A = this chain, B = another copy of it.
Amino acid sequence: MPEVNFFKLVEEELALVESGLADNLDSSINIMNQASVHLIKAGGKRLRPAFALLAARFYGEELAEIIPAAVALELIHMATLVHDDVIDNSSIRRGTETVKSGWGNRVSIYAGNYVFARSLSIISTYQRSDLIDVLARASMKICEGEIIQMLSCYNVNLGLKNYLRRIERKTALLISVSCELGAMIRHAPLQEIIALRNYGYYLGMGFQITDDILDIIADEETLGKPTGSDIRQGVITLPALYALRHDPNGQELAQLLSSPEACINKAERIIEIISDSDGIDYAYYATQHFALKAQKQLDVLPDLPVKKNLYDIANFIIAREY
């Protein structure tokens, strides 16, 4: 999402995360190695490591202790991406061939499992079961979210609540956990741990809605995947939800979005209806709403440069600078 570098404060640490990822995806099995290196090359924004590091930054400048957790969080994110690729039948993610299309469904499932187990093994080195507990609970909810999303496809009758639950589990939870773990590892006061957890949650909600907007209005080059990929899979996001209820073409849209065939063959028309509706603007307001809530959480945190940093990240959403 953000192209601006919001992670200057933790830039050196993020470089260490990158080499940590490479080290940790080294497996004794060659094909697993190939699949894993592939994952690293695919890049990504390393948002989760960045937020863990930034949260920890409130409690000292020495962040070496956070690197393993930051690596583990990115590994968990990667594991979910690998499994999503199996399920979505997507062949392109971030412009690179996915693990699935390169090595088949089987390797993808086990590679995802392996990467998840690896991340736990890393977290267990902290010898703190409270960290594992937070991760395990979030993982369960994320799995539930995937199932909700699956069951919600092509269903034009589901409302805002269903959508929010889906994006919470798809994105907000792991960003929330990233902030939470960063603070927990540094033994932050409980009130501040909660504030950072909530900051991550609301910001994550804002990020996902932004992604959902971009999936409709941005071009393939910007996205690193085809425009409207959600629509093609029958995933109904906020702009579509609004258009379904309030646009004069709502009925046509409902017919199209209920049909798996139309979602693929008439994706362009669907994108057109949604883009021309007020759904995009409505979704923008929603991102601003969540970004403001995220900023509000920062009130209880110490006045340090990193606070301004987190505030600015939310501002970036509010100002629609992306």
Given contacts A120-B120, A126-B129, A129-B124, contact A107 B150 (CB under 8 A): yes
Chain B residues near A133 (CB-CB < 8 A): 121, 124-125
Chain B residues near A144 (CB-CB < 8 A): 27-29, 32, 110, 114
Least CB distance from A149 to B in Å reads 10
Least CB distance from A252 to B in Å reads 29
**Copies held by the complex:** 2
Majority secondary structure, A binding face: helix
Given contacts A120-B139, A132-B132, contact A106 B126 (CB under 8 A): no
Q: How far is it, in angstroms, between the C-alpha of A28 and the C-alpha of B83 when the chains are bound?
A: 22
Q: How far is it, in angstroms, between the C-alpha of A113 and the C-alpha of B169 when the chains are bound?
A: 14
Report yes or no: B124 in contact with A132, Cβ–Cβ below 8 A.
yes
Instruction: Name A118's contact: one of B86, B132, B140 (CB within 8 Å).
Output: B140
Q: Which 3 residue pairs spanning A and B have beta carbons closest together?
A: A117-B139, A121-B136, A114-B143
Chain B residues near A113 (CB-CB < 8 A): 83, 113, 116, 139, 143, 146
Closest to A139 in B: B117
Report yes or no: B137 in contact with A121, Cβ–Cβ below 8 A.
yes
Chain B residues near A146 (CB-CB < 8 A): 106, 110, 113
Which A residues from 144 to 182 make CB contacts under 8 A with B?
144, 146-148, 150-151
Report yes or no: A140 in contact with B124, Cβ–Cβ below 8 A.
no
